[in-house]
Structure 1
Amino acid sequence: MNITTAYVRRKLQGYYTPQEAGNLSRLICCEIFGQRTVDYYLGKDITLSAKAKQELESILTRLHNFEPIQYILGEARFLGRTLCVTPDVLIPRPETEELVELMLKELSPASRVLDIGTGSGCIAVSLAKELPESQVTAWDVSEKALSVAALNGGALRASIRFEQRDVLTYTPDVTECYDVIVSNPPYVTEAEKAEMEQNVLDWEPSLALFVPDADPLRFYRRIAVLGLEMLVPGGKLYFEINRAFGEDTVSMLRDLGYRTVRLQKDISHNDRFVIAEK
């Protein structure tokens, strides 16, 4: 183990598990200070300038405050692509990768897709890149989130139309028509805050996370109602959901008249996705 790695791990003791500290030391050495991965694993040390040493101390202070490493790096990986992330957007999760992979197996190559609550743009960018014949539109209520999503779309040369929309109040234009609506909206209830990790609770945008305890399906219900107007016959909804409300989401969609509603589990065997057909 090189001197810098040993120092980082020692400074992170008591804040992170040994495995987490090891992963963070690798990211710091390789992603931030440019050490070759093979040299890192061979235990070769890196020479840091006075400025780099100062930067390292700043990074360690931020990690002591449980700031996510993705925000410190300014980027996150999603389905093999690097996306810009800031505290204005959620850090993309593996479950959302699963959702996109599911969609890619089922969508027509030339689909009209609407991504509601796009955040970093991870869903919209992935679909636009993997289905280049599709027309992808991405909404978010947050102007700052849309700026991040547009930055990612531009950097990856993804053809996407970005629009600022509040889905809870938006009235659709009669000409708007989609084959698919996908959304990973806020779904964590206020009561679940006590169970959340500090790095999520203190740093990720609450606007994109939380819903009232009294109405946990508020976004799904509203999007489903919009879908009745905006989806073509046979068009589909794809939702990432709170695992505690899978059956409730299915029942709500059936009550609204959607058919072939199915609930699917993620790789951890939690209820995580609901797909419905208009």
Structure 2
Amino acid sequence: MLLREIKNIFHTELDSLYPKEEVDSFFYMLIEDQLKLERFILAMEPNLIISKEEETPLFDALSGLKLQEPIQHIIGKTHFMNMEFKVNKDVLIPRPETEELVRWIIEVVQSTKFEVRSGNTLRILDIGTGSGCIAISLTKHLNTEVYAIDISEEALKVAEENAKLNEVDITFLKEDILDLGQLEVKFDIIVSNPPYVRELEKKKILKNVLEHEPDLALFVSDDNPLVFYKVITEFASKNLKENGQLFFEINQYLGKETKQLLRDHNFSEIELRKDMFGNERMLKGTLIKNIK
């Protein structure tokens, strides 16, 4: 079959579900991943014919896309901070907003605003690591000793694979965020992108997220939406070095409330930052004095 005919079939089947530009993107991602063809191949060879064997994975992917399965799950990977990460149903697909959070941490560490006062290697803890995208990216871009925890054994397996794929060493630990004890080491930075989507906000979540990404990493109850932030902030107040920093990705509707949590636990220089879409999505605070 002509490759351009398959592209037309993609549009016929999918244009009612996705924007046309996104359908184009799906098609080009698939031919690059499955057939190792560049996206401009049809401009160069408009009458390119592919074999029946080559067609099969494209039509299998089309079936998944019609069910609104994420393209990242179909090809089994995604890109984050210019690196490749394996993803599946056990981990959240890394978002652009999270990349902004990582870049903010790198910016702060590389600026004169942050110093490693112990004179040792910078030590970072990533709480709720999922795919490992935050921990791995920070390890790759900074001279750091990184610990990463998650309650999900399946997620940790994915994160460990991604660490090997990107050739970094990270200490992964299976821990319940809501039952964290005091660790033997202190940290210069603690970062977390915990569950923060309230049940009342489910109606705003796209079907491809609701049905294909882990609820455990997404949702919290309406009556206690900051449960993870409360526990993590308390933990950070005891496990950060003095003048250590806490970074959060947050619910855009609860910025004021999350900011107050940091104030209540001896954090200063608190900064709430908007993401590329203009939503209050990132929060940073500096611990001015450890609680004994």
1:125 aligns with 2:136: yes
Q: How do residues 5-84 of structure 1 correspond to structure 2 at under 5 angstroms? A: 5-42=7-44, 44-84=46-86
* 1:219 match: secondary structure: helix
Distance 1:45 1:95 in 2: 40
Q: Offset of 1:11 from its aligned partner?
A: 2.2
Q: Deviation of residue 44 (structure 1)?
A: 3.0
Trace 1:111-260 onto structure 2 (pairs within 5 A): 111-131=122-142, 133-173=143-183, 175-260=184-269
User: d(CA) in 1 for partners of 2:16 and 2:168?
Assistant: 42
Contact 1:139 / 1:165 at 8 angstroms: preserved in 2?
A: yes
Q: Deviations over 1:39-73 (max 9, x none)?
A: 14446354333233232222111101000000001
Q: State whether structure 2 residue 259 is matched by structure 1 residue 263.
A: no
Q: Does the 8 Å CA contact 1:121/1:138 hold for their aligned counterparts? A: yes
In 2, distance between residues paired with 1:92 and 1:264?
19
Deviation per residue, 1:3-53 (Å, 9 max, x gap): 222222222232222121111111122222221233144463543332332
Identify if the C-alpha distance between structure 1 residues 41 and 222 changes in structure 2 by more than 3 Å, giving closer, same or farther: farther
How far apart are 1:80 and its partner, in Å?
0.6
Q: Secondary structure at the match of 2:271?
A: strand
Q: Distance in 2 between matches of 1:243 and 1:139?
A: 24
**Identity rate of aligned residues, in percent?**
37
Structure 2: 5+ residue runs without aligned partners?
Answer: 110-114, 288-292
Deviation at 1:2, TM superposition (A): 2.1
- CA distance in structure 2 between the aligned counterparts of 1:260 and 1:148, rounded to whole angstroms: 35
Alpha-carbon distance in 2 for matches of 1:38, 1:60: 20
Using the alignment, how far apart are the partners of 1:143 and 1:20 within structure 2? Answer: 33
Distance in 2 of aligned mates of 1:45 and 1:247: 57
In 2, distance between residues paired with 1:55 and 1:38? 20
Say whether the 8 Å CA contact 2:136–2:163 is kept in structure 1: yes
Query: 2:72 is matched by which residue type in structure 1?
Result: Q
Structure 1 CA distance for aligned equivalents of residues 267 and 233 of structure 2: 9
Aligned length: 276
In 2, the alpha carbon distance for the partners of 1:140 and 1:160 equals 13
Distance in 2 (alpha carbons) for counterparts of 1:10 and 1:28: 17
Work out which of the residue numbers 89, 98, 102 in structure 2 matches 1:96.
98
> Deviation of residue 75 (structure 1)?
0.4
- The answer to which of 142-151 and 265-274 deviates more is 265-274
Q: Mark the CA change 1:48 to 1:185 in structure 2 (over 3 Å): closer, same or farther.
A: same
Superimposed CA distance per residue, residues 87-117 of structure 1 (whole angstroms, 9 cap, x where no aligned partner): 1100000001100110001125831000000
4+ aligned runs moved over 6 Å, structure 1: none
Deviating more after overlay: 49-58 vs 66-75: 49-58
Alignment check: 8 A CA contact 1:3 1:45 kept: no
Aligned residue type for 2:194: P
Give the aligned partner of residue 281 of structure 2: 272
Q: Structure 1 residues 106-115 or 147-156, which shifts more?
A: 106-115
Distance in 1 between residues matched to 2:93 and 2:178, nearest whole Å:
23
- SS, match of residue 2 in structure 1: helix
Assess if the C-alpha contact under 8 Å between 2:34 and 2:57 holds in 1.
no
- Asked if the contact 2:250–2:283 (Cα under 8 Å) also holds between the matched residues in 1, the reply is yes
Cα displacement string for residues 221-276 of structure 1 (whole angstroms, at most 9, x for unaligned residues)? 10010011110000010000010000110111111221111111111111011101
Q: Which moved more, 1:45-54 or 1:229-238?
A: 45-54
Query: Which amino acid is 1:179 matched to?
Result: D
Query: Which has the larger displacement, 74-83 or 108-117?
Result: 108-117
